[in-house]
């Protein structure tokens, strides 16, 4: 990959710095020339990631407010879309947790739309995908995990620990099963976080690589332009695939959170 580093060719993704496919994940200030304070050791600079978190939030809030309108009896087209989204998440929760799970509806809806819009916005040229930041996905996963723990213990007390000891096994099996269950439980937030982070990162690296090939080859004259057709086709296909992945990963994150919350509601399998 060394030949791709810091080349002089134009940049496909607009985030500066040549064709290094990792460069697009770099955190940098979104507004040059503004000084942001550092409070309690936290640098409050609005970085490119923070900038897109704010944009994502605004897009969801303003978008849904505009789409919903006055909440008319006969819905407009955009209101139908908002209601479709509402129904989609509500059905997902009811399907997994039943009516009881609807108390988590605002959280699941926020989680799903936040990840979905972040993923989709990240696919725009020049945009930053903050769901490709492991710390962000891990933080979101930890919110879900903490919510599972709180719900589990608040609802079942110590009975929540039944989750680790399925009923009806031979006594000796518990020495084996309980550690396995505990480990699988603890690994949940990590799998949630890494699945989303790795998917988004891999997709964007692929896009960057093939986009880079196109630019590099087309810089070589006519032969290069002909040769660039193939990577361009691949980049296009990967973009389509990434659109699906963007939705799928948001959905998977939300569904798994629902499944884990269902465990918290009903720990005795």
Partner 1 sequence: MINLFDSAWTFIQEESHGTSHDEPAHGVAEHAAEAAHASGGLPQLDMATWPGQLFWLAVTFTVLFIFLWRMILPKIGMAIENRRDRIADDLDAAATLKLQSDESAAEYERLLTEARSKAHAMAMDNRTAVESEVAAEAADADEEIAKRQEAAEKRISEMRTAALANVRDIAIETTEAIVSELTGTKADSKAVAAAVDANGTGS
Check residue 38 and report its DSSP letter: E
| Shortest separation between residue 184's beta carbon and partner 1, angstroms | 25
> Hunting for tokens 């939705």 — which residue is that?
247
User: According to CB under 8 A, which residues from 80 to 99 bind partner 1?
Assistant: 82-83, 86-87
**Assigned token pair, 45:** 């600079």
Instruction: Establish if 64 lies at the interface with partner 1 (CB under 8 A).
Output: yes
Contact positions with partner 1 (CB under 8 A) in 155-214: 197, 201
Q: Exactly one of 9, 10, 61, 244 binds partner 1 (CB under 8 A); which one?
A: 61
Partners of 29 in the β-ladder: 47
On whether the CB atoms of residues 52 and 127 are closer than 8 A, the answer is yes
| C-beta of 36 vs 169, nearer to partner 1 | 36
Task: Give the CA distances from residue 200 to residues 15, 143, 183, 246, in Å, rounded to whole numbers and listed in that order.
Answer: 17, 20, 26, 8
Site string for partner 1, 113-152 (x = CB under 8 A): xx---------------x-xxxxx--xx--x---------
Closest residue by Cα to residue 78 from 70, 86, 67, 65? 67
* Distance in angstroms (rounded) separating the CA atoms of residues 171 and 156: 23
Number of residues counted as binding partner 1 (CB under 8 A): 54
- Residue 245 Cβ vs partner 1, minimum distance, rounded to whole Å: 18
Nearer to partner 1, 52 or 160 (CB): 52
Q: Which long-range contacts (CB under 8 A, 24 or more apart) does 24-33 make?
A: 24/128, 24/204, 24/208, 25/132, 25/133, 25/201, 25/204, 27/133
**Footprint on this chain of partner 1 (rule: CB under 8 A):** 1, 22-23, 25-29, 38, 41-47, 49-50, 53-54, 56-57, 60-61, 64-65, 68, 71-73, 75, 79, 82-83, 86-87, 105-107, 109-110, 113-114, 130, 132-136, 139-140, 143, 197, 201
């Amino acid at each position: 990959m060394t030949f791709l580093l810091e080349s002089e060719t134009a940049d496909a993704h607009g985030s500066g710095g040549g064709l290094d496919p990792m460069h697009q994940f770099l955190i940098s200030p979104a507004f040059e020339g503004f000084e942001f304070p550092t409070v309690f050791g936290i640098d409050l600079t609005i970085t490119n990631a923070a900038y897109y978190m704010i944009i994502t939030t605004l897009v969801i809030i303003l978008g849904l407010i505009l789409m919903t309108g006055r909440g008319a009896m006969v819905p407009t087209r955009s209101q139908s879309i908002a209601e479709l989204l509402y129904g989609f998440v509500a059905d997902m929760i009811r399907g997994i947790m039943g009516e009881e799970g609807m108390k988590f509806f605002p959280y699941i809806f926020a989680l799903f739309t936040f990840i979905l819009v972040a993923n989709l916005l990240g696919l725009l040229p020049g945009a930053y995908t903050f769901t490709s930041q492991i710390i962000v996905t891990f933080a979101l996963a930890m919110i879900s995990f903490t919510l599972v723990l709180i719900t589990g213990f608040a609802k079942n007390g110590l009975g929540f620990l039944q989750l680790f000891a399925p009923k009806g096994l031979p006594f000796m099996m518990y020495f084996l099963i309980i550690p396995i269950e505990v480990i699988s439980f603890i690994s949940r937030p990590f799998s949630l976080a890494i699945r989303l982070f790795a998917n988004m990162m891999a997709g964007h690296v692929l896009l960057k690589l093939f986009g880079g090939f196109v630019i590099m080859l087309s810089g070589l004259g006519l032969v290069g332009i002909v040769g660039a057709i193939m990577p361009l086709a691949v980049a296009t296909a990967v973009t389509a695939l990434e659109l699906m992945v963007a939705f799928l990963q948001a959905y998977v994150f939300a569904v798994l959170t629902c499944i884990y919350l269902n465990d918290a509601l009903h720990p005795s399998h």
